[in-house]
Amino acid sequence: MSQAKTFTSSELEQVLRFAQTTKHSARNRALVLITHWAGLRVGEVAALRLCDVCDDALQVKSEIRLLPEQTKGQHARTVFVNEKLRNELQAYASTIRVRSPQQAFFFTQKHKTRGFTANTLTQHFKAMYVASGIHGATSHSGRRSFITNLAAKGIGVRVLMSLAGHRNISTTQAYIDVNDDMKRRAVELAC
């Protein structure tokens, strides 16, 4: 089985431009960016509740604590949210009308309080990527791009493993897509 496509920065911008044209633009931007900038799995995104992401004043937290039942491996973990992502999530949070702490953070178009399932969110990502002209991308592309981009910036594989919530370093290594720019920078360090 082939791995999910990793995005270039221009491809990510292409998807974000498309998201701006959609009915739920703030939500769709936030969905794309939480996978690309925080590396969440689609099931983790679907499992997020308002209280996981925002405090009582509806301000986005700098850390999202995922419970074991919200993760693939049933292991709790902390997701660190950088300032750019916090701003994007805050823009989306300001559009939420029903504010029950236990409600889904990302709601569907039909149900303003019911969230996506992992399957419907997977289909939503695929539809957004195809409509924006990015072919071969899946709901896992953001997560893989997150790990690859950090590796390209020199972040160590053990840190990447922790950020991804992997239990085995070889799993993390398999996510890293080596490209020509990475190889060019590497050989420049040889001298």
pLDDT digits (tens, 9 = 90+) for 158-189: 999 999 989 998 888 888 888 888 788 888 88
In a domain, 179, yes or no: yes
Dihedral pair phi/psi, residue 6, rounded to 5°: -95, 145
Indicate whether 87 and 128 sit together in one domain: yes
Shared domain for 108 and 148, answered yes or no, is no
- Provide the domain limits for residue 61: 9-137
What contacts 69, CB < 8 A, 6 or more positions away?
47
| Domain presence at residue 1 | no
Sign of CA dihedral 32, 33, 35, 40: negative
pTM: 0.90
How many residues in the chain?
191
41-100 per-position pLDDT tens digit: 999 999 999 999 999 999 999 999 999 999 998 999 999 999 999 999 999 999 988 778
Write phi, then psi, for 135 (nearest 5 degrees). Answer: -100, 145
131: three-class secondary structure by DSSP: helix
Q: Specify the CATH number for the domain of residue 31.
A: 1.10.443.10
